[in-house]
């Protein structure tokens, strides 16, 4: 036995760990439903990529409503689940106004139009969570130039447009609506794939690295405006995007192995990313700017965790 083995926590058996993972996730999801404390009171927010039933965008929309946002503008290019999301929010949080929009997050007219609509109807825009994203599946030699450009269009161009038009709207002041100073929070969903390799295809990872870069450069350009721009870099989260991987593992009885490569040794759920978005949207993060924040169980901070081995 090496001396390193003495300092590494031995942990539970794989079966016990899987059981405790499921219990922990259940606890996190239950806590997420607890009453809010009004952290987003008075804020007008736009969120993209809200259409997937298990997605980060939907969980965040519900979290923002729980925290008392004034008006949520919710966009997805797939309209199927938008009525259900609107009804879910309005039945639980009737004082929150909800507007759903079926549009492409990478369509400049749609994004500038939505920011203008918020200004017209509410006189202010406080938060833009640019979360819509798409993951390709092809290996390097099967990735066409068209797929590469599509990943850049959906993941990086959409975020650029959000930053450009949301920041213009956030520069508008309106004392009659309680906005005496410029400011706002723009949150972008990147990925651990945008930090290092091994978490996505070449085109997806490049597009998410672009997202991380856009946050830093835009924060610099928007200096002294009190507009903050940060990214969230999720690790492996069970959503519509990763659903097939989870389903396959469950069918094979290997669900307990999912997410083993990070120090927490488990996958995450959409509510855990929504909690990070809530922090960044609220004034609790008033001095957090230009950051790429990994919410990944420690994956990007560590060499791969190999259960039972250290080298």
List residues near ligand NAD by CB under 6 A. Answer: 48-49, 51-52, 54-57, 76-78, 104-106, 131-135, 154, 158, 189, 191, 234, 236-237, 239-242
Query: What number of H helices and E strands is found in the chain?
Result: 10, 9
Comparing CA positions, the residue from 24, 28, 83, 8 lying closest to residue 276 is: 28
Nearer to ligand NAD, 65 or 258 (CB): 258
Least distance CB 202 / ligand NAD (angstroms): 15
Closest CA to 184 of 84, 69, 100: 69
CB of 84 to ligand NAD, least distance (A): 12
Comparing CB distances to ligand NAD, the nearer of 118 and 132 is: 132
Told to judge if 204 belongs to the known catalytic residues of this protein, a careful annotator would answer yes
Q: Where are the beta strands (DSSP E) in the chain?
A: 44-48, 71-76, 97-102, 127-130, 184-189, 227-234, 237-238, 268-269, 292-295
Report in angstroms how near the CB of residue 265 gets to ligand NAD at its nearest.
16
Residue nearest to ligand NAD (CB): 133
Closest CB 240 distance from ligand NAD, rounded Å: 3
130 DSSP β-pair partners: 188
Q: Is residue 209 a contact partner of residue 194, using CB atoms and an 8 Å limit?
A: yes
Nearer to ligand NAD, 184 or 234 (CB): 234
Q: Three-class SS of residue 105?
A: coil
Which CB atom, from 135 or from 210, has the smaller least distance to ligand NAD?
135
Name the residue among 125, 120, 75 with its Cα closest to residue 100: 75
Q: Which is the catalytic residue, given 204, 220, 248, 287?
A: 204
- Residues serving a catalytic function are 204
């Amino acid at each position: 036995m090496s001396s390193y083995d003495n300092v590494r926590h031995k942990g539970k058996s794989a079966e016990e760990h899987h059981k405790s993972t499921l219990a922990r996730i259940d606890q996190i999801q239950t806590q997420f439903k607890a009453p809010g404390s009004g952290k987003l009171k008075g804020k007008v927010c736009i969120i993209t990529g809200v259409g997937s039933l298990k997605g980060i965008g939907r969980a965040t929309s519900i979290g923002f409503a729980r925290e008392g946002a004034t008006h949520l503008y919710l966009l997805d290019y797939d309209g199927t689940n938008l009525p259900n999301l609107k009804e879910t929010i309005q039945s639980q949080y009737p004082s929150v106004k909800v507007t759903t929009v079926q549009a492409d997050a990478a369509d400049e007219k749609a994004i500038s139009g939505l920011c203008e609509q918020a200004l017209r109807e509410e006189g202010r825009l406080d938060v833009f969570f640019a979360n819509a994203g798409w993951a390709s599946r092809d290996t390097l030699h099967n990735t066409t130039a068209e797929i590469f450009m599509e990943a850049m269009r959906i993941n990086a161009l959409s975020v650029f447009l959000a930053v450009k038009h949301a920041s213009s709207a956030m520069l508008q002041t309106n004392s009659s609506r309680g906005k005496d100073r410029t400011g706002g929070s723009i949150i972008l969903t990147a990925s651990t794939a945008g930090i290092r390799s091994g978490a996505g295809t070449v085109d997806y990872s490049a597009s998410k690295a672009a997202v991380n870069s856009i946050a830093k450069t835009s924060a610099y350009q928007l200096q002294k405006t009190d507009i903050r721009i940060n990214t969230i870099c999720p690790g492996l989260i069970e959503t519509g995007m990763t659903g097939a991987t989870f389903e396959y593992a469950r069918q094979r009885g290997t669900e307990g192995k999912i997410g083993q490569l990070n120090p927490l040794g488990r996958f995450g759920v959409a509510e855990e990313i929504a909690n990070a978005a809530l922090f960044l949207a609220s004034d609790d993060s008033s001095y957090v700017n230009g950051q790429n924040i990994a919410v990944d169980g420690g994956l990007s901070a560590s060499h791969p965790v190999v259960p039972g081995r250290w080298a």
